[in-house]
Chains A and B, each alone.
Chain A
Amino acid sequence: MTMVRLPHAELLELFLQEVETYLPEIRQGLATLAVESPATATLDELHRLFHNIKGAASQVQLVDLSRGARIVETLLAELVEEGKPASAQLLAALHQTVDLFDKFIRKENVVPEDEEVLYSQIAMLFAEFSGNGSDNLFTDDVDNLHQGLNEQQEYILATRSVLPLLRELAGYLSRDVSGGGDNNVKVYGKLSQAVMTLAAAGRAVGLHQQCLLMKDFHLLLEKLQSGAFCQLPDMPGLIEDFLRFLEAVYTYADPESSMTVRRVKDQLHGLYTLLEMSGMQTSMAVSATLETRLEEDIFTAPEEQQDESVILLEELADTLLIEEQVEDSELSASIFEEPGQETHLQPEQELEEETISEDQQLLLDIFRSECEEHLIVVNHSLNVLEKEVKQPCPLSSYLRETVSVMRRAVHTLKGAAAMTGMNLTARGAHSLEDMLDWLHDDAAEITPEEVQVIATGIDVIEVLSQSAQTDESAHLNRLVETINGYLRFRTGRVEHQDSEPEETGEEQVFVGDEGEAWQADAGIDEETLPEPGMPANLPGESGILRVKLDDLDELVGIEGELVVARGAIEKMLEEFSDTLFELDTVKENLRRKSQELEAGFEVQSLYGFNPRPDDETTGSDFSEFDPIELDRYSQLNLIIRSLNEISVDVNSIHATLTSLAGDMGGQVGKQQLTMRLMQEKLMRIRMTPMSSLSRVLFRTVRETAKKLSKKANLVITGEDVYMDRFVWAKITDPLMHMLRNATDHGIETPEKRIAVGKPESGTIRVEADQRSRFVVLRISDDGGGIDIERVREKVRRGGLAKNPQALSEKELLEFLFHPSFSTRKDVSTISGRGIGLDVVRRNIQDLRGSVQLLNKPGQGVTFEIRIPFTLSVNRAVMVRVADRVFAIPLQDIQQIKRFALQDLEERDGVWLRVGDDVVPVVNLGFCLQLETRITKLPTGREGILAILFSRDEKFFAVSVDEVVEQREIIVKGLGSHLTHVPGISGVTLTGSGALIPIVNLREIIDTRKPVASGEVETVVLADLHEPLKVLIVDDSISVRHSVARLVESQGWKQQQAIDGIDALAKLETFLPDVIVLDIEMPRMNGYEFKSNINNNDQLKDITVVMLTSRTSEKHQQKARELGVQHYMTKPYQEDAFIKLLANIRSGNIN
């Protein structure tokens, strides 16, 4: 039997509506067939309708209904094909089918069983017509029967595996009547759950009698779990026995046979009776319910009736599946109709109705995105109107065109809203469109009041489009009333009787004054139709594809991963090249040694060394030849020859690898270029102009001014400045906050403005300007500015500074960014709570930006925000500080230079001379809490490597140990927890996945400064335990690599040298804590090397661990004489080796 899952309620509803529209047509067709014969066209039409029902039903997962329709469809197809008329019986069957469909679609709650019943009934109706070509109609059903039997078999097998486990579980039941409470509850609970699972699964495979019995057993267990029965010492044993009995039933018998069913029922009855005799606790309400159910289900049901159904099932299983399904459906239906089940269904249905499907959500998202675009246009037009219409004025062609543009956008928005089912938004847009229609077509002049009404309308539409529709109907009603009232007032005309659109099926129809109708079908929207003669754009050719932002972000993330992976390949390629270089050395050695062998020993070996024992030429007829005259090779000869051949082979392989390395390098370079292009393209996609934000800003000023009864205009310039969408999103709140502040704190009341000779209406400006990789946003107002004395007073009263009088204006203004600081005397919903500017700064800092405040008392305030336009990619300089690598974005750096001693000054710290200026320099390691502060001039001649940068138009410098490289970096945040760490703006990844913190120079130099209250910020010095640095000197590549891996596994650093000479070269740039040294190496052996560094003051104290295969005391003695502290022999124990190095690191041993 096919179990169906109800599709989404809405889809089902649509389907039922669709079928409802077909039924009259089908009835009409059947009436035609009754009088006309043969009526092929009618049969064709009927065939089409049933075909549609079949397809649509399948679409909404009403599988059985689809199968029913398929039976009818096939029969009709046969009739059409054979040109036969429909018989009276067939027509009657078709009429009954239509009635069945009619009945089905009118059901309030459709459950799967209804559908099964419908299918069975249709199948029964048409069974007699399935003689000829329609034999195959039920073939599938026979297959299903087989499949059902297979499923039953599988179920029985699986149940056989579970029952012994359940019996074992029952063995955990405590026999102690007074104890084992919790444990027994747990065991009964698990048993009950398992048995119910078996019942549900049994039902699914068609074992209905077993399902009922399992359900009854489940109820019994549930009662035991809830304590409804007195605890009997024998109960665990009885349960175990019953489970054993069930095991036998499922092992030897057909569980569904009437005999078996009766026996199980008897056993269960016995169990129940025993419990009943033990006395029942009646206090629990649940017990009563369960009791009734149990009695009804097991014991009070008439035996005959049960048996009949069992017999019927058995008979039908041998004959037709259809009949079984009828029976099945009835049984199933009876189970589903239980009141308990109904109440169980209820919440799910409700939930289903409330939930928005994924498709709908996608549609909504698309609509909202489209709506944004229209609203940008609408707001832009509104901005023009607000600017132009300060008093009633004639509607010039410019203004009319502005209204026209707005009207077009509102109209399109209306269509899109209706299509998406955003009916309130559609109504709002419709109402606003009325207003715009009137303005455009009929009005001779336009007034500020009308502009205000339009602004209100736009605000309402905006709210409606972004929120749950039902929450905002009050807004809508107000808008409709306002617009209708206004239009009545201006025109005296009677507006639409129905401010609500008529609903006719799926389409929304709005009826206008002249009776013209606009339908929510974009396909017939005249304005969207192309001009005659113009080629219509196909959807795929329109050139715009909507992409979910998340998808785009994911793509950028993946691209970032690719860049990192490419970095890893580049590193590997570098290592590969290094190895090739080593191979080249080895190859040369091999060639030289081969030649030496050949030259020095080959001829001798012909005479002096043992010839090959198996050489057939020895003592043969060729003995009279001199060995040179006839190639009579000894073993050594052969080895030398093959060595030569190997040398040639190695040479050849080296050449191939070198060529391959070159090719790979070329490919990696190409990949680098392509990826950079891809990165740029992706970034461009993420970029949006400021205009996407401007409507929100206009609205903020408009609403705030309205609430405060002030007059303020917002002027935005640089709307075409682009920034990363993410950056705009993060900056929106700070901007809105500053605009509210400007309107509330900055702009004076109209009366006050007039009194001081300013225009009645204040002006707030937002200017965007792109400078290199930064965007500078200036938010200024022409209000009264900040009263510095009031700030000072507030600081004094709050005890925020020791001597407020001594603070400069700049220092005082800094307090505005402190939490809970407000100079406003009263607190309103708009501002004055002191919450805000600290958050504003924090948000901007999160974007690696900065904010500055410029105050002009009496003339206004300007905030200048500087933010990088994207946070995703950057170029950075990698610097080494205290043996750690940090990244510094290139855009933050003015200059990197090694300053000679003559450019340095020592006066309360170190200062640099840059041109005519002197700039303080701090060692970056100190700012990063890795080093103590350097206050003295360096002693060497190298001077200081410093990075110059500017902040607040002043220069600063930090010194670093080394500039490692400059490269492109992928910027990542600091994770979900550490959203903002002062001085660190993010991290980047190396090819190997290591993290490199990105330093924010502007912040990092502040991190050690005392806070305003004079307290020193508590900071914790980092663990200055550096990773151990190890130089591995060995001519064997295997040894080097195995030691290197071991060292790196501890998080330590290592470098390698292939012999003493190479090691000396490495020591020029790498000062290790430990040298792991082999003895025998080409060019310079270990002893020679140690002896060499003993003469160097800087190197002689480096701990040396000799790692060699030489075990003799003589070798060890020699090492000791040279000052080697540790001697280990190969093969070495890894643990011992690591322990030794760890001890050296911790200083436990030298």
Chain B
Amino acid sequence: MSSLPDLYTLIQNIDAELLEVMRSSGPVDKRSIPEQEKLTKYILVATGNLHLAIAIDDLSEVGPLPVITFLPNLPEWIQGIVNVRSEIISVIDFAGFLKLSGPGVCDGNRFVVLQHRKQKVGVRLDRIVGTVSRTKTDAKPIDFFDSNPLDTSLFTAGLLVDNKAYYILNVRRFLLAPSLIDFRSH
């Protein structure tokens, strides 16, 4: 499997070249081209002791954490709100939300904005590790990883990258989780 990253790069190169072929030929009857197992690009991040893989398609923003504005009457895991290009986004401490034991409240200076339809939530992170592209079949079931029991409704699979387990966050489920939406009763 050590050569796999090269294979992914090669496939990406092929895709780029095929795009050129398509471009050179003008309109192509795409119905005849078979569906291929899609490569999903993930961003690998860390918050506390938790390592997460988040599909790039589920993100609307990645970058340094803007200045957080504090709001009262919120649980500790909601750290406040930020202004991202005139859009107001809440910032949460993900480990705190999951009530995981760890180094305490996240005070990292990176963050990502998760998005499902119109719902957006920012997650404060300690660091952004990198990105990988993987197919669905590359993902391992959650019980493959011998780790802390996690809320399996939010993590359905994981990725093994450089011998480290990254839990794939199901962003849709997370953003629709009652405990997130009805935060006052969480």
Contacts and interface: CB of A to CB of B under 8 A. Distances in A.
Contacts of B72: 927-930, 981-984, 1004, 1007, 1019, 1022
A198 interface: yes
B73 A204 contact: no
Interface stretch (A186-194, A697-705, A896-904): A186-194
A222 B34 contact: yes
Interface string B26-37: 111111111111
Given A983-B72, A1019-B73, A196 B34 contact: yes
A1130 to B, nearest CB: 28
Given A193-B34, A203-B29, A975-B87, A155 B24 contact: yes
Interface stretch (B5-13, B42-50, B157-165): B5-13
B21 A198 contact: yes
Interface residues of A, number: 72
B73 A973 contact: no
Contact of A190 (B11, B32, B74): B11
A345 interface: yes
A151 B26 CA distance: 8
B51 interface: no
B73 A200 contact: no
A218 B36 CA distance: 13
Contacts of A172: 3, 7, 10
B78 interface: yes
Contacts of B121: 976-977
A945 interface: no
A974 B24 contact: no
B27 A162 contact: no
A1020 B75 contact: yes
B132 to A, nearest CB: 15
A995 B135 CA distance: 40
A974 B90 contact: yes
Contacts of B3: 172
Interface string A1021-1064: 01100000000000000000000000000010000000000000
A205 interface: yes
B30 to A, nearest CB: 7
A929 B80 CA distance: 13
A997 interface: yes
B137 interface: yes
Most chain-A Cβ atoms within 10 A of its Cβ — which of B36, B120, B135?
Answer: B36
Given A929-B72, A994-B69, A1020-B76, A200 B33 contact: yes
B18 interface: yes
Contacts of B181: 977
B17 interface: yes
Interface stretch (A18-26, A163-171, A404-412): A163-171
B82 interface: yes
Contacts of A151: 24-26
A257 interface: no
B88 interface: yes
A993 B24 contact: no
Given A975-B89, A975-B90, A987-B88, A165 B28 contact: no
A204 B137 contact: no
A388 B87 CA distance: 52
Contacts of A158: 17, 20-21, 23-25
Q: Is the interface of A mostly helix, strand, loop or mixed?
A: helix
A194 B18 contact: yes
Contact of A204 (B13, B25, B67): B25
Contact of B24 (A154, A168, A1051): A154
B71 A884 contact: no
Nearest to A1051: B67
A192 B183 CA distance: 49
Nearest to A159: B21
A846 B119 CA distance: 17
A441 interface: no
A186 B27 contact: no
Contacts of A189: 36-37
A269 to B, nearest CB: 23
Contact of A975 (B7, B26, B81): B81
Given A204-B27, A975-B88, A975-B90, A161 B37 contact: no
Contact of B73 (A345, A561, A984, A994): A984
Contacts of A916: none
B3 to A, nearest CB: 7
Contacts of B119: 976-977
A205 B25 contact: yes
Interface string A961-974: 00000000000111
A165 B13 contact: yes
A201 B18 CA distance: 9
A168 B6 CA distance: 11
A157 B72 CA distance: 63
B33 A981 contact: no
Contact of A978 (B27, B71, B86): B71
B34 A200 contact: no
Interface in A127-167: 151, 154-155, 157-159, 161-162, 165-166
A202 interface: yes
A989 B83 contact: yes
A344 B31 contact: yes
A644 to B, nearest CB: 47
B22 interface: yes
A791 interface: no
Interface residues of B, number: 53
A475 B35 CA distance: 44
B152 to A, nearest CB: 23
A166 B14 contact: yes
A165 B10 contact: yes
Contacts of A344: 31
B70 interface: yes
A933 interface: no
B56 interface: no
B118 interface: yes
B180 interface: yes
A844 interface: no
A197 B33 contact: yes
Interface in A614-648: none
Nearest to B181: A977
A729 interface: no
Contacts of B180: 977
Contacts of A1124: none
Given A189-B37, A981-B71, A972 B88 contact: yes
Contacts of B13: 165
A419 B22 CA distance: 42
A1139 to B, nearest CB: 15
Contacts of A194: 14, 18
A1051 B73 CA distance: 23
A454 to B, nearest CB: 41
A172 B35 CA distance: 21
Interface string B93-129: 0000000000000000000000000111100000000
A564 interface: yes
Nearest to B89: A975
A154 B20 CA distance: 9
A182 interface: yes
B137 to A, nearest CB: 6
Nearest to B29: A200
Contacts of B83: 989, 993-995
Given A977-B120, A996-B69, 9 more contacts: A3-B26, A3-B29, A154-B25, A165-B14, A172-B7, A182-B137, A186-B137, A218-B34, A972-B86
Interface of B: 3, 7, 10-11, 13-14, 17-18, 20-37, 67, 69-76, 78, 81-83, 86-90, 118-121, 135, 137, 180-181, 183
18 contacts: A151-B25, A151-B26, A154-B24, A169-B10, A186-B137, A193-B34, A201-B24, A201-B25, A202-B25, A203-B29, A204-B27, A204-B28, A975-B87, A977-B119, A978-B90, A987-B69, A997-B69, A1020-B74
Can you list the 5 inter-chain pairs with the closest CB atoms, starting with the nearest?
A154-B24, A201-B25, A975-B88, A193-B36, A995-B69
